[in-house]
Amino acid sequence: MQISVITAVYNRAGTIAEAVESVARQTHRPLEHIIQDGGSTDGTLQVLEEVCTGIVNVRSEPDQGLYDAINRGISRATGDIIGLMHSDDFFAHENVLSLVAEIMSDPAVDGVFGDLQYVAADNPSRVVRNWKAGAFLPAKLRRGWMPPHPTFYLRREVFSQWGLYDTGLKISADYDAMLRYLVKGGINLAYIPEVLVKMRVGGASNKSLRNIILKSREDFMAIRRHNVGSLGTLANKNIRKIVQYF
């Protein structure tokens, strides 16, 4: 099975090389790395010219934000399995995609996910927060559970049948999409009980009080849209984050 890894990037010259090299080091083949650049002006494209290998397909063009760029990347992908590698992230080890492919060789499995570590932006070897997801059960959704999005890999048929990311949501389109796949789509998810991806702290959702408020509003909109709970679900979703620091 071919795996397509999608990276949406805009002005990340300082971290994009590590993300690209992390994908290139994966032992699984066939593999393609689709990079969708939003028209970077900080040297990101020059870095990509230096580090990209034959598995990488780069396109640079204006977009309407992160989720629009991800959607564009998915539409370009040719793999049987599709997942993401954000421009500030990297794989925990070189066999992550081999594990994904092994589990998804079972045709009954529609997608997989694993655990995630948040690491310090200036020192990626220092772990700040551990997100141990645990296996998926539908009842968990009402308790604010969600799989770590950067570890989430799906068959291309899931996107074809249940749609891409809602670009009307600026921060929580990933949460909304995962709820759509799990609730409306009823997809069968498998859990890999180990850290698959490491993410630098400092994402868009926590950059300002305004973004935190917007994320809460969009999260609640997704919760209500997919009928998985109410304000208690939103509260539990945030409480889960606090627990991950300890």
At 89 the pLDDT is: 98
| Chain mean position to CA 34 | 14
Structure tokens belonging to residue 54: 């034959």
DSSP string, 133-155: -----GGGGGGT----GGG-EEE
The residues, ordered by sequence, that sit 6+ positions from 224 with a Cβ below 8 Å of its Cβ are 230
End-to-end CA distance of the chain: 38
Q: Which domains does the chain have, with CATH numbers?
A: 3-243 (3.90.550.10)
CB atoms within 10 A of CB 137: 10
- Name residue 199's beta-bridge partners: 89, 118
246 burial class (0-12, 13-18, 19+ CB within 10 angstroms)? exposed
> What pLDDT does residue 189 have?
98
Per-residue pLDDT, 246: 82
Per-residue pLDDT of the chain (246 residues; tens, 9 = 90+): 999 999 999 999 999 999 999 999 999 999 999 999 999 999 999 999 999 999 999 999 999 999 999 999 999 999 999 999 999 999 999 999 999 999 999 999 999 999 999 999 999 999 999 999 999 999 999 999 999 999 999 999 999 999 999 999 999 999 999 999 999 999 999 999 999 999 999 755 556 788 999 999 999 999 999 999 999 999 999 999 998 988
Scanning the chain, the segments in alpha helix (DSSP H) are 16-24, 44-51, 66-76, 96-103, 156-162, 173-179, 209-225, 231-243
Distance CA 133, CA 49 (A): 36
Which positions ≥6 away from 209 have C-beta within 8 Å? none
Instruction: Quote the pLDDT of residue 243.
Output: 85
How far apart are the C-alpha atoms of 191 and 14, rounded to whole Å? Answer: 32
pLDDT in tens, 211-221: 999 999 999 99
Q: What is the pLDDT of residue 73?
A: 98
pTM of the model: 0.94
